[in-house]
Each structure stands twice: as structure tokens, then as C-alpha cells.
Amino acid sequence: MHRTRFDRRAILKAAAGGAFLLLSGQAFPRLAAAGAVSPGPEGRLSLFNTHTGERLSVDYRDGRGECIPEAVSAMNRILRCHYTQQVAEMDLRVIDFLSAVDRSLGGGNDIHIVSGFRSPEYNEKLVRRGQGVARHSLHLQGKAIDFRIPKASLPSLREAALRAQGGGVGYYPGSGFVHIDSGRFRTW
């Protein structure tokens, strides 16, 4: 049996090299910036907005994991507030979270968007109507998505989101959707 001998100098060199790669961003190029979710080398989503009837199938990351600006812009548009038509910049961490859930269920699923970005006007309207929405919802910051996947059960969507641990996971079986956000990991 061959044994490799590691001396103190070799260990320090390896540690310094690893620290350099991590600090320079070369170890994981431009993947999920601050979360447990890794989007994989390519991000592909098929979205259907349940309020507007719009569909979008898009590769939003290239083979190196870099975002494709035109694709991100198209996703921002389909995830806009359907009430005011206001488009906001969605947090890529919640997009990557959604992609991770999709991949864990086989990928290429038709993802039905119930809510993406929510304008302050629309959010306040829902609060006044007693719709059970948070006054300071992460939807207002483009950091939350409510969705369902018709070919997957809601419990399986919830479990996939919990396994990904990309942020908050809310379960709304009465309303027929799962909520994910790029906030801290928590469940309800």
C-alpha cells in the first residue's frame, strides 16, 4: 500500500491555494451568491404565468454558470406584478431556488407561477382584503415566488423545496401552491 506523506508545508500550500480560489471566486464561478442552492452549470426554466397566460421557456445561465442578461430580463417580465404590470428585478437566488426544485423533480417541468414580484399597491390591496399576505412580504423585493407544478403533488413540491434549503418555504394546500423565497431558511 502506497502512503502519501503530508508535511506542514504541503498542507499550508494546499490551504492557501484553496483560500485563494474561494476568495477570488474561481472555485464556484458566479453561482448562487449567498445561499445553499447551486443552480448547476446551466439554468433552464419553463414558466407559465397563471394570471396573464404568458409562457416562457428559457436558458438563463450559460454552460459556465454565467447569467444571460436577456433571459433574466424576460424572466423579470413574466414574474412581474400582474395587477400593476410593474416589472422588478427578481433576486437570482430565488430563481436558482426554483430551478433546484425543478431539477430535483426531473427538470423541464411546466412551472405555474401564481405570484412573483408584487407591487406595493397590489400587496396592500391583498392585505386590506384579508388575503393572508404579509405586509412586508418578500414578494415586494422580488425575493419570493408562489408556484405549482401540475404534474407534481403539492406535498412533493414542498419536500423538494425543503431539501434544497434555498430559503423560506411556505405550504398552502388550500390555495394550491408552494411559496419559496431567498430569505433565511424557515418553514410554515
The mean pLDDT of 33-39, rounded to a whole number, is: 49
User: SS3 letters for the chain?
Assistant: CCCCCCCHHHHHHHHHHHHHHHHHCCCCCCCCCCCCCCCCCCCEEEEEECCCCCEEEEECECCCCCECHHHHHHHHHHCCCCCCCCCCCCCHHHHHHHHHHHHHCCCCCEEEEEECCCCHHHHHHHHHCCCCCCCCCHHHHCCEEEEECCCCCHHHHHHHHHHHCCCEEEEECCCCEEEEECCCCEEC
What are the residue ranges spanned by the domains of the chain?
Answer: 36-187
pLDDT surpasses 70 at 6:
no
Q: Which CATH code fits 36-187?
A: 3.30.1380.10
pLDDT 10s digits, 58-116: 999 998 999 999 999 999 999 999 999 999 999 999 999 999 999 999 999 999 999 99
pLDDT of residue 8: 55
pLDDT of residue 39: 53
Whether the CA torsion 186, 39, 99, 161 is positive or negative: it is negative
pLDDT of residue 41: 56
pLDDT 10s digits, 142-184: 999 999 999 999 999 999 999 999 999 999 999 999 999 999 9
Comparing CA positions, the residue from 40, 33, 51 lying closest to residue 91 is 33
pLDDT of residue 45: 97
